[in-house]
């Protein structure tokens, strides 16, 4: 894979993001993700990982810098309009519609797409990827376990039929067996549909195992960028995140 040769699907250039007056969360962050590429973002708590994802999704407005998607500058596209461009965020904490059923949550994911045939196809695909969910179609989302809820959050984002999927800590608070299942689904989506994935994950070995490339974020700055294999071997990652 040679992502540098390809025009990036998503590119952030020199992003600066601040909370309130003084707290600078991102200080000139540049990242790029090529079509069909899986990129991991690792870093300690408070490094700015969630801030970066929220900025890419339009939920935060950068003080300076640019966000490009599919050859178009999207800084001023409001958050609710971005899914239509082909990008979707699976937010931290899942953010399901807890009083609606599993099926209704999924239907809402596809509502922004007017074509009913497409919706039916997407639903079949999602049931196939997550058989657990099809067994719970009529159940309220609030009654799902953590892992099932995370699956539903991913499935709901997939209903938008994104070309670019952002995930914020999908393994948080989930039993290891389900984490593996979720990562397997992501791997399949990458392989079978050439879905580009930008993954924020505390579980660094798992994230870098899935990803082609990775960035290391520290206190609002990208300090290292390399293919996953090189990152796993680097002193920085081995010491700081793998505890070796």
Q: Give me the least distance between CB of 108 and another protein, in Å please.
A: 5
Least separation in angstroms between CB 54 and another protein: 9
Please identify which residue in the block is written with the tokens 């879905």. Answer: 195
Q: Is 19 in the site for another protein (CB under 8 A)?
A: no
Q: Is 56 in the site for another protein (CB under 8 A)?
A: no
Q: Does 95 bind another protein (CB under 8 A)?
A: yes
For another protein, the closer CB: 94 or 136: 94
Q: Is 111 in the site for another protein (CB under 8 A)?
A: yes
Q: Is 86 in the site for another protein (CB under 8 A)?
A: no
Task: Specify the stretch interacting with another protein by CB under 8 A; choose among 41-49, 105-113, 171-179, 218-226.
Answer: 105-113
Q: Which segment (80-88, 171-179, 186-194, 207-215) binds another protein by CB under 8 A?
A: 80-88
In the complex, the smallest distance separating the C-beta of residue 37 from another protein, rounded to whole angstroms, is 22
Phi/psi-derived region of residue 53, left when phi > 0, alpha when psi is between -120 and 50, beta in every other case: alpha
Q: Which stretch binds another protein (CB under 8 A): 11-19, 38-46, 73-81, 205-213?
A: 73-81
Q: Which of 33, 56, 89, 174 binds another protein (CB under 8 A)?
A: 89
CA distance 46 to 43: 8
Compare residues 109 and 214 and give the one whose CB is closer to another protein.
Answer: 109
Answer yes or no whether residue 59 interacts with another protein by CB under 8 A.
yes
Q: Does 109 bind another protein (CB under 8 A)?
A: yes
Contact predicate 146/82, CB 8 Å: no
Q: How far is the CB of 109 from another protein (least distance, A)?
A: 5
DSSP string, the chain: --GGGSPPSEEEEEEEEEETTTEEEEEEEEEEE-TT-EEEEE--TTSSHHHHHHHHHTSS--SEEEEEETTEE-TTS-GGGSGGGTEEEE-TT----TTSBHHHHHHHHHTTS--HHHHHHHHHHHHHH-HHHHHTTTSBGGGS-HHHHHHHHHHHHHTT--SEEEEE-TTTT--HHHHHHHHHHHHHHHHHH--EEEEE-S-HHHHHHH-SEEEEEETTEEEEEEEHHHHHHSHHHHHHTS--
Site for another protein in 119-178 (CB under 8 A): 156-157, 159-160
**Where does this chain bind another protein (CB under 8 A)?**
57, 59, 78-84, 88-89, 91, 94-100, 104, 107-109, 111-112, 156-157, 159-160
């Amino acid at each position: 894979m040679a992502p540098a040769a390809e025009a990036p699907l998503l590119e952030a250039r020199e992003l600066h993001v601040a909370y309130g007056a003084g707290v600078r969360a991102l200080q000139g962050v540049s990242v790029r993700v090529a079509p069909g590429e899986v990129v991991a973002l690792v870093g300690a708590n408070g490094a700015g990982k969630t801030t970066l994802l929220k900025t890419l999704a339009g939920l935060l407005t950068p003080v300076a810098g640019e966000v490009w998607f599919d050859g178009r500058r999207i800084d001023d596209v409001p958050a609710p309009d971005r899914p239509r461009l082909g990008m979707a965020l699976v937010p931290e904490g899942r953010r399901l519609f807890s009083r609606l059923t599993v099926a209704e949550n999924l239907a809402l994911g596809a509502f922004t797409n007017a074509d009913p045939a497409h919706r039916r196809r997407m639903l079949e695909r999602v049931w196939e990827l997550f058989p657990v969910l099809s067994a719970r179609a009529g159940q309220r989302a609030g009654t799902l376990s953590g892992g099932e809820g995370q699956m539903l959050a991913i499935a709901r984002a997939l209903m938008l039929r994104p070309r670019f999927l952002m995930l914020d800590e999908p393994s948080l608070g989930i039993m290891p067996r389900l984490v593996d299942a979720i990562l397997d689904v992501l791997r399949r989506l990458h392989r079978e549909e050439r879905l580009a994935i930008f993954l924020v994950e505390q579980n660094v070995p798992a994230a870098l195992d899935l990803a082609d490339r990775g960035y290391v974020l520290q206190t609002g700055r990208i300090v290292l960028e390399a293919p996953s294999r090189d990152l796993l071997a680097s002193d920085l990652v081995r010491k700081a995140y793998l505890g070796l």
